[in-house]
């Protein structure tokens, strides 16, 4: 809350922010969620875009590795934050699929539905489409009318990073989120050079984008946790054509996305 409050009070805030931190939405509390959403909404109007990781334990969220179940995380579940899930495959020259411990990934991309915030208008058609096609048998177990996430995805497996002057491999939506944030930052720069306003609240534009902007991820699920046992639960979602609560709209194709957002 300190972060979002100070950011909101900043007269010249950075235009794109990436958050890799997450917490159990229920434990964060309804009042804190509502306060954060108000401030994030105001920032969006001012041209600020906030991006957040969708989590690394599938639908178990912050409750993993202890429990199965649908446990949304925050701030990914905020309708004013662009939630980014994780994929894998291209890092080993394989087809891109949802990142999961069930298919060899180090983590399982998070996704789900908010228990405190209702579904925003901009994703209504996409989410309804998913629910109508899949018809989850346990729909009563999660808040199907809530804000659904992630919105998009990016590679989340086996990044080479430097730690103490040595290259080590790291995985997670903590990596995929800043990748997408970096893309938005580059697009913002192009918009500035074209005398266009900053993206800010970009969600409606993302959901209205043509299919050519995305790599549609149709393989994978998020029912497995990412602890040492990599236990797979009954609760979870599957990736299908179009939007899904595993990889969202898909992973971005940068050039088509840039061209679309520059229109």
Separation between Cα atoms, residue 32 and residue 55, nearest integer Å? 19
Looking at the predicted structure, is the pLDDT value of residue 64 above 60?
no
Looking at the predicted structure, is the pLDDT value of residue 63 above 70?
no
Supply the DSSP symbol for 101. Answer: G
For the stretch 164-201, pLDDT in tens is: 999 999 999 999 999 999 999 999 999 999 999 999 99
Separation between Cα atoms, residue 28 and residue 210, nearest integer Å? 35
pLDDT-based confidence at 13, cuts 50/70/90?
very high
pLDDT, residue 229, reads 62
Environment class of 154 (CB within 10 Å of its CB; exposed 0-12, middle 13-18, buried 19+): buried
Global model pTM greater than 0.85: yes
Beta bridge partners of 163: 166
State in Å, rounded, how far the first CA of the chain is from the last one.
35
Best CA proximity match to 156, nearest among 93, 216, 91 = 91
Mean pLDDT of 37-64: 93
Of 2-11, 55-64, 244-253, the range with the lowest mean pLDDT is: 55-64
Is residue 147 within 8 Å of 77, Cβ to Cβ?
Answer: yes
Greater pLDDT, 228 or 154: 154
Is residue 107 within 8 Å of 101, Cβ to Cβ?
Answer: yes
pLDDT, residue 57, reads 93
Separation between Cα atoms, residue 177 and residue 127, nearest integer Å? 21
Task: Round the CA-based radius of gyration of the chain to a whole number and report it.
Answer: 17
254 three-class SS: helix
């Amino acid at each position: 809350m300190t972060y979002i409050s100070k950011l909101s009070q900043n007269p010249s805030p950075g235009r794109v922010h990436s958050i890799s931190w997450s917490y159990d939405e229920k434990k964060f509390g309804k009042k804190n969620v509502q306060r954060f959403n108000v401030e994030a909404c105001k920032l969006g109007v001012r041209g600020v875009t906030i991006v957040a990781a969708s989590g690394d334990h599938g639908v178990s969220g912050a409750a993993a590795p202890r429990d199965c179940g649908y446990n949304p995380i925050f701030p990914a579940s905020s309708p004013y934050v662009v939630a980014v899930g994780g994929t894998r495959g291209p890092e080993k020259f394989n087809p891109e699929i949802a990142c999961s411990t069930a298919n060899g990934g180090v983590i399982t991309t998070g996704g789900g539905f908010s228990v405190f915030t209702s579904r925003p208008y901009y994703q209504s058609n996409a989410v309804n489409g998913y629910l109508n096609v899949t018809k989850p048998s346990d729909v009563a177990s999660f808040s199907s009318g809530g804000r659904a996430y992630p919105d998009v995805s990016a590679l989340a497996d086996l990044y080479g990073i430097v730690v103490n002057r040595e290259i080590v491999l790291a995985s997670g939506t903590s990596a995929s989120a800043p990748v997408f944030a970096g893309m938005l930052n580059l697009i913002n720069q192009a918009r500035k050079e074209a005398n266009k306003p900053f993206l800010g609240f970009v969600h409606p534009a993302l959901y209205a984008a043509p299919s050519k902007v995305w790599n549609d991820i149709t393989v994978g699920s998020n029912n497995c946790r990412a602890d040492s046992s990599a236990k797979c639960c009954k609760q979870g979602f599957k990736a299908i054509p179009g939007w899904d609560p595993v990889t969202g709209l898909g992973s971005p194709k940068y050039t088509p996305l840039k061209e679309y957002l520059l229109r």
